[in-house]
Structure 1
Amino acid sequence: MQKKHPIVESQGQQSNVLDSVNSEEPIIQHKLQRKCTTDAEKKILKGLFEFDFFSDDTAIEILRELQDISNDWNMQRIRTYWNNHKKKFLNNVIYYY
């Protein structure tokens, strides 16, 4: 037997739903636009891969450089870039013992 949870809507949400149903304008949903990294940004971002871990200090320095080029960059986007590209860069590193 599944539990039934009551649906609670605030008065503001309910009126917004009714307004959108009653209006004849179509609801347009926009997709998030993917941001392409330029060659200049990639050159700066290479500094992230000097270490085999994500360094906040290095990321802050890189963020300052990137914000001179574009205001689209923030720490979350830099961390996402590092997570998406770390295998590519870290596999090319040769370790000397």
Structure 2
Amino acid sequence: MNYLDTIELMTFNLKLIGKKRKRNVLISAGKPSDKERLLPSIKKLISLNVKIFATKGTSIFLEERLIPNKEIFKITEKNEPNIKSFLKENRFDLVGNA
């Protein structure tokens, strides 16, 4: 199973969970080709009313394609909000890293 299959499965699971609260998903993809491959899955997540958090490069990529998202700093960065603090607080329902 590749990461795209995994995201498809998690998208399905998020749909089953229901819409009691807005879901938070972190997306971080390094290569432009990985970002492009993730785009259809990200659009599906958006259609499920999921809030997308993305690291800087991924956030820029998504903004250029008019995909709403909130930039989040990497664990190694001391600025807030960052991935480490969100993970400690269990604020992500799904993490996609390519």
TM-score (norm 1): 0.24
More strand by share: 2
Structure ranking higher on relative contact order (CA contacts 8 Å, 6+ apart): 2
TM-score (norm: length of structure 2): 0.24
